[in-house]
Amino acid sequence: MDGLSHFLRILNIKTAILTEREETTTEMSDKELPDSAPGTYVPSHPNPYYSPESLPIEPKLEIPERVHELVAEASYQIGRIDGISSTVDFAAVLYTSLIRIEAVESARIEGADVEYQDVEAYHTQNPTGEEDLTIEKDLKEALNYEHALTYGLDRVEKGDQITLSLIKELHSMLLEDVRNDGDVVGDFRDHMVHLTSPRPGKRPFVPPMPDGLTGLMQSLESYLQMGGQYHPLIDAAIIHYYFETVHPFSDGNGRLGRLLIILYLVSNGYLESPYIYPSAYFNRHKVEYVERMRAVSEDGAWDEWLTFFLEGLRSQAETSYERTQQLRELQEHYEEEYSGNTNTDKFARQLLQYPYFMAPDLVEYLDISRRTAYKVVDDLEADGLIEEVTGKERGKEYKAIDVFEILH
Tens digit of pLDDT at every position of the chain (408 positions): 444 444 334 344 334 433 433 433 344 444 578 988 999 999 988 889 999 999 999 999 999 999 999 999 999 999 998 787 777 777 778 888 888 988 999 899 888 899 999 999 999 988 776 666 678 899 999 999 999 999 999 999 999 999 999 999 999 999 998 866 557 889 999 999 999 888 888 889 999 999 999 999 999 999 999 988 999 999 999 999 999 999 999 999 999 999 999 999 999 988 887 778 888 899 899 999 999 999 999 999 999 999 999 999 999 999 989 989 999 999 999 999 999 999 999 999 999 999 999 999 999 999 999 999 999 999 999 999 999 999 988 889 999 999 999 987
* Measured distance CA(384)–CA(250) in Å, rounded: 48
Is the CB of residue 225 less than 8 Å from the CB of residue 111?
no
Residue 343 makes CB contacts below 8 A (sequence gap 6+) with 362, 366, 368, 372, 375, 376
From residue 137, how far is each of 26, 126, 142, 288, 404 by CA, in Å?
A: 41, 17, 9, 27, 24
**54-80: b (≥16 Cβ within 10 Å) or e:** bbbbeeebeeeeebeebbebbbebbeb
User: Domains along the chain?
Assistant: 64-325 (1.10.3290.10), 338-407 (1.10.10.10)
Amino acid at 379: D
Give the pLDDT of residue 70: 97
- What element of type H or E holds 320? helix 302-337
CA dihedral 336, 86, 277, 228 (to 10 degrees): 170
Q: For position 180, what pLDDT does the model report?
A: 66
User: Cβ(327)–Cβ(90) under 8 Å?
Assistant: yes
Q: Residue 337: what residue type?
A: E
Please calculate the CA angle 190-22-6 and round it to the nearest 5 degrees. Answer: 120
Q: What is the pTM of this model?
A: 0.87
